Structure 1
Amino acid sequence: MPTSSPVYHEMKQILALHHQKSALVLGHLYLFISCLIDCSLTKTSSKHDENKEFYIREAINFVERNYEKAISVDDLAQVCNLNRHYFSRLFKEQMNISPQQFIIQYRLSEACELLKNTTKTLQEIAEEIGYSNQFNFSTAFKRHYQISPNRWRKIHK
């Protein structure tokens, strides 16, 4: 235990005052217990934050590995072993975007790579990134980028 820690300081005070008046020792004993609780809560809070980051990383990794399949928020919550509503709130809190929006953005960024680097049709790209048809893909693309996939391809080729 570092000698600069509040726990160490209070323990040292208690040992130095053990022969003094009991009220003084008792006061330092309460401070000592308070310091222990504070340290415990700090470690628990830190561990909780690490768990949050772990869950988000797990969800993102799942999307990266499975974006071409149908993925729901329920699937992501299940991967993390979390309740759907808690997972959604946690994801939004950590990423500033909903899980569903993240899935869409990830797929569309993959679509941009395919549009730029291949000659695949829009239907082929749509299927490759997890859309059931070209229309849904084009609608999502245009909503996100304010430009059609074909026009985007012409500009970026």
Structure 2
Amino acid sequence: MDTQNKNVENSYDLLSLTAMIGFIQKNYPGKLLLKDISSAGSCCKTKCTSLFQKYLSVSPMQYLNNYRLEKGCAMLRNSSMSVTDVTYAYGFSGTSYFCELFHRHYGITPNEYRKENL
């Protein structure tokens, strides 16, 4: 493949990835499936996954969960919303799952995080 075609492909890939990231950031509180994310970028699930891995070094679902965790952290810092309410407001399916991901990502529980950041 010549350089011009490669540049066009990379431009298309970045446009697609940008569309998928925008879709996640707009729709993260709802139930999102890989097919929804890939559709937003006008590509198949395999291409979606490879673009996230290539440019962000995470899967689309990891990106989604990380984004939700960031939003949840802000809510824990800036509100008195319960951990359960934060869980559901930011698209997680259950409090135990949210707490498990939170602990794995930040090394502390959501309640510990809140106490440290008040």
TM-score range for the pair, normalised by the shorter chain length? over 0.9
Q: Choose the corresponding residue for 1:62, options 23, 37, 48.
A: 23
Match of 1:73 in 2: 34
TM-score by length of 1: 0.71
For structure 2, the 5+ residue unaligned runs are none
Inter-partner Cα distance in structure 2 for 1:67 and 1:85? 21
1:133 to partner: Cα distance? 2.1
Q: Deviations over 1:50-98 (max 9, x none)?
A: 1111011111101110110111222111111211112111221111111
Look at both structures and tell me which one has the larger radius of gyration over its CA atoms: 1
TM-score by length of 2: 0.93
Q: What count of residue pairs does the alignment treat as equivalent?
A: 118
For structure 1, the 5+ residue unaligned runs are 1-37
More relative contact order, 1 or 2 (CA 8 Å, 6+ apart) = 2
Q: What SS does the corresponding residue of 1:86 show, helix, strand or coil?
A: helix
Q: Choose the corresponding residue for 2:9, options 23, 44, 48.
A: 48
Instruction: Please state if 1:112 is matched with 2:73.
Output: yes
Identity of aligned residues (%): 25
| Runs of 4+ with >2 A deviation | none
Q: Which moved more, 1:128-137 or 1:103-112?
A: 128-137
CA RMSD of aligned residues (A): 1.3
